[in-house]
Amino acid sequence: MSNVVNNEYPGKNPAEMSNAELAQLAAQQYQTNNNNAPTSNYQFPTEIVELPSKGLLYPEGNPLRSGKVEMKYMTAKEEDILTTQSYIKQGVVLDKLFQSLIVGNGNGEKINYNDLLVCDKNAIMIAARVLGYGKDYEVEIETPSGNKQKETIDLTQFKELPLDESLYVNGNRFEFQLPYSKRNIVVKCLTHKDTQDIDAEIRGMKKVSSGTDATLSTRMFYCIISVDGNEKREFIRNFVNNDLLAIDARALRSYIKQITPDLDLNIDLIDREAGEPFRITLPIGVDFFWPSV
């Protein structure tokens, strides 16, 4: 993971350290900031996390335009968040954790968590796990030969996917012509606020209907900014529900994936039984943030 967190970690969780040890660690961190970026006056040591978007998708003047967030090390307070049953049941426990860990944008400015792009949250998730429990993640995986083998994954190895900065000259606005119908579409990458609105809308639909799952079309509606220059939301909703052909929808989803910045979470391993290489995507199980489970 390139420049997401420093490669040197304290020997134990800050929650287990004495006040003197924390003070010493904080002093060392402020004196030797590996990212050469200012940090805010925070009571715990912090790290600068580089976002996959590099800030290019955020508007001028937004603190996230810096392309970085400053995060503090996890303490007992954050472990309380991870075990709060109401957060777990609501499906918001990780967002609550990230909000608690994020200090600002690394330049002393606070950020609005609702503005955070979903595509930048993988970097924050990995950094949060490292800052809480260290860089080594022990997992058991099934190999292509059908055997189980244990692996220790270094969570600092992941790098951002290659970013063609020429795609982002208009910020979070991307033009695409549907290949079959030739309609001209403008789309965006979703923010945390968008996903909240999507989840609320889907929950509302489930209460009044037990029929088709509308998750795909609802997400598509929130991604689309305009159709043939028309930005009216009801027009776009009608287009998604009635006029968007499946072949065009598939192409549009593929394009959105192509333009979306992210971390490359693929891992190359060796099947010890067969001696053959294989690739997996980082398996994120319940023990990722609850390693004692």
Q: Are 40 and 46 in contact (CB under 8 A)?
A: yes
- Mean pLDDT over the full length of the chain: 85
Residue 37 has pLDDT above 60, yes or no: no
Integer Cα distance of 46 and 100 in angstroms: 13
Task: For residue 254, report the phi and psi dihedrals to the nearest 5 degrees.
Answer: -65, -40
Backbone angles phi, psi at 214, to 5 degrees: -100, 20
Helix (H) or strand (E) holding 129: helix 121-133
Cα distance between residue 29 and residue 209, in whole Å: 54
Average confidence (pLDDT) over 239-264: 95
- Reported in sequence order, the residue ranges of 119-233 that DSSP labels E, i.e. its strands, are 136-142, 148-154, 174-177, 184-187, 224-227
Instruction: Name the nearest CA neighbour of 121 among 215, 194, 38, 41.
Output: 194
The answer on pLDDT for 19 being more than 70 is: no
Structure token pair of residue 60: 């001028």
Query: Which tokens in the block code for residue 109?
Result: 């400015």
pLDDT at 28 over 70: no
Q: Report how far apart, in Å, the C-alpha atoms of 168 and of each of 56, 64, 151, 286 are.
A: 6, 15, 38, 35
pLDDT of residue 292: 63
The yes-or-no verdict on residue 15 having pLDDT over 50 is no
Q: Report the share of the chain in percent with pLDDT over 90.
A: 65
pLDDT for 210 equals: 62
Q: Is 50 helix (H, G, I), strand (E, B) or coil?
A: strand
pLDDT for 103: 94
Q: What is the pLDDT averaged over residues 199-223? A: 84
| Helix, strand, or coil (residue 293) | coil
Which residues are bridge partners to 267 per DSSP? 280
Q: Which tokens hold the place of 51?
A: 């976002």
User: Rounded mean pLDDT of 192-202?
Assistant: 93
Instruction: Check: CB of residue 47 under 8 Å from CB of residue 108.
Output: no
At 63, the amino acid letter reads P
DSSP string, 144-158: TTS-EEEEEEETT--
Domain boundaries, the chain: 14-161+263-281, 165-259
pLDDT, tens digit, 9 for 90 and up, residues 77-126: 999 999 999 998 888 999 999 999 999 998 989 999 999 999 999 999 99
pLDDT digits (tens, 9 = 90+) for 131-185: 999 999 999 999 998 889 999 999 999 999 888 899 898 999 999 999 999 999 9
How far is residue 214 from each of residues 17, 182, 202, 205, 220, measured CA to CA in Å? Answer: 48, 24, 7, 8, 10
185 near 252, Cβ under 8 Å? Answer: yes
Longest dimension (CA), the chain: 66
Q: Residue 38 has what pLDDT?
A: 44
Check whether 32 has a pLDDT greater than 60.
no
> Looking at residue 214, what is its pLDDT?
82
Residue 279: CB atoms within 10 A of its CB come to 9
DSSP annotation of 59 = P
